A and B are shown apart, each in its own frame.
Chain A
Amino acid sequence: MPEATRNVTSQVSDELEEGIPVMQHILDNPFILLFLGVVVPTVLYVIWGVMEIIGIPIAK
């Protein structure tokens, strides 16, 4: 691609970056979403559930 076109694309993209709300930054970052999407159910469902099962007294 010609250098000039590349610079224009880059400039448009940089201008877009400015003034983007925080929430959109979060939604635009798939790795933050991946982190949240793994941590939330892991804590609420898996870790909490496993801790409850471990806490069950063993029958004598």
Chain B
Amino acid sequence: MSSRAPLLWSVAGLLAAVALPWYALQEGLDSGAWLTGLWSSEDYASGLAQIIQHGRWWLAPVLAALAACLAICLVPTSRERCGAWLMIASAAGLALFVAQGLAIGLRGWSADWLVAAFGELAGRQIGTGAGAALVMIALLALLSIGLALRGAFGGDAFVAGAITTVAASILLFTAWPILRILVQAFQDGDGVFRPALLLERLAAEKIWSVRCLVGGGRCGVAWNTLILAVCCAAGTTALGLAFALIATRTGFHFKRTLRVLTVLPIVTPPFVIGLALILVFGRAGLVNQFLDWSMGVASTRWIYGFQGVLLAQLFAFTPVAFLVLIGVVEGVSPTLEEASQTLRADRWATFTTVSLPLMRPGLANAFLVGFIESIADFGNPIVLGGDYGVLSTEIYFAVVGAQLDYGRAAALGLLLLAFALGAFFVQRRVVGQGSYATISGKGDSGLPTPLPDAARRAALWVAVPWAVFTFLLYGFAFVGGLVKVWGRDYTPTLDHYTKAFAIERTADGLIWSGAAWNSFWTTVKLAAIAAPLTAALGLIAAWILVRQRFVGRATLEFATMLSFAVPGTVIGVAYVFAFNVPPIEITGTAMIIVLCFVFRNMPVGVRAGMAAMSQIDRSLDEASATLRGRAPQTLVYVVLPLLRPAIVGALVYGFVRAVTTVSAVVFLVTAEYELATTYIILRVINGDYGIAIAYSCALIVLMLAVILLIQFVVGERRLGRRIAPPLGGRA
């Protein structure tokens, strides 16, 4: 084995252990102040110095393992044996690394039984720094190489590296935070572990009360959340189906306009619809004013509460259901419907006995998406909920509000997670193992059967007014930012925009004096960092899931699917818990926000990448491999050029979702790193609608511009037509 890779990684790791500060620095690496204190200063010392000079003996075994890897590379031996030894040494190193990181924290040993076992510890340690992180990465790389040398993952070190990277990062930034939230839910304020506490917290009256049914009063937030989610899921699925049927199975003239609907929710911050509803139905809204003016009815707070949130969610998430269902409806094979008609079934019977049952998995999927979107929604409930509390807002108040009860937040987060996962499993049950896929590689020469008249009329009657109203709402939202005070003074003005986005020209140059600039640039910067990372990680994950076979593939796929189902609020809270103490201490930094963006949005990139990749015949990869193309070359020269649409999608999605997300990051922002959405939410909570609306509109315009830019840069796939015929049965 002539490869120099293991040698290089061992050396790089050892260099990092000698020449970089082991622990995190308050001021960051770029100050350079650490260069002089690498040996002497306790804060700046490298790993080696920490061991020798500062008595942190527990780091020694980790570095010893790394040194052992180097030794293994230098001893000539057979490929398999070298791989086996590398694997053992690096795995031991990793295990020791994790063990010391978890066992020794800010106050020495992190658990009482460790103190009992080893006695008091003089040292303590803060968060992982550059040196430690590089050592860990080197150990991971060596582990991958060791596995590959032994013939795992097709004997390819790049594939092995990609798989371990994806698995480790999902473990670290999705599984670990969720595990932490689980632990937190059992702990009291002093960090003492009390199993009964979770029950106590979950059994609270405020969560499960049913007083809205019997006797006066309000129901618990759990019921509120569930009822809202079921209504929202049912409503969006029905509306989405109506739209999908119209778009694919009727001669409706405005199909392209309908398609525009599907873009809107992607570029819209989730609370914009809520804002627009306030403009129409709020106290100073159009409807109340009209009633007041025409009949003298006093304005009501009708929109604040269940009905308002539901309405906002229906408007906001119907396009998502439409997006899911349009593919499903198109996927129903016309030939099957034609077969049904030749078997004496009329259009209606065909629709109800063939088409609808074939759409069942898609309907279940749309329902699941609606359900999860609803329970994860934070923006609309906080804007419109009034005293109708749901879990996501309740968690927010537990963390941010006066209660400051992390344990309760964790318990509520767990409950929310349980709802999401419950829906996820119910959906898988409903869809079952049976395959409903009716798109085969073969061409389908049938023509889609037109919808029966009754169904067509019903769909049109529901969908058209709904679509018109959706566009109207967006229109109001746009106009709302251009008048002085909605409801009182409709004088056209650009005041809100200047307040938010003023740029003054002074002697010192331009001054970005608008109130929104700070959060705006932070958002753009962090989203721009996160988007390529999201796309890269998502597509690599998709590539290994679709194209590589390895032990644990199903588990990995399941893990990415699961993280899709985890509501943003839960992720946000979990990040706060997991990353505000060593070994990874990044709360309050920009890094935690970027990480949250990446791992929150990656699952969608994975799904999109997997869908796109399964359309590309696997034999293309194999052809490249037999033509001496190593895995990274295959990826660059063959897979990525064919995946351009998916890359565009993942980049756009990664960016846009990072800009529009609220629920997850609301816990992670600080004064220094304030984001656009959280800024807007605060304006709304303060009743400052004008600037909130102006800002939202600016965001929407920004995102449309970004989408066009990415589309332009990455471009279309150069491909006459797809030639790969379906791969026949394999002997």
Instruction: Report if A and B associate in a common complex.
Output: no
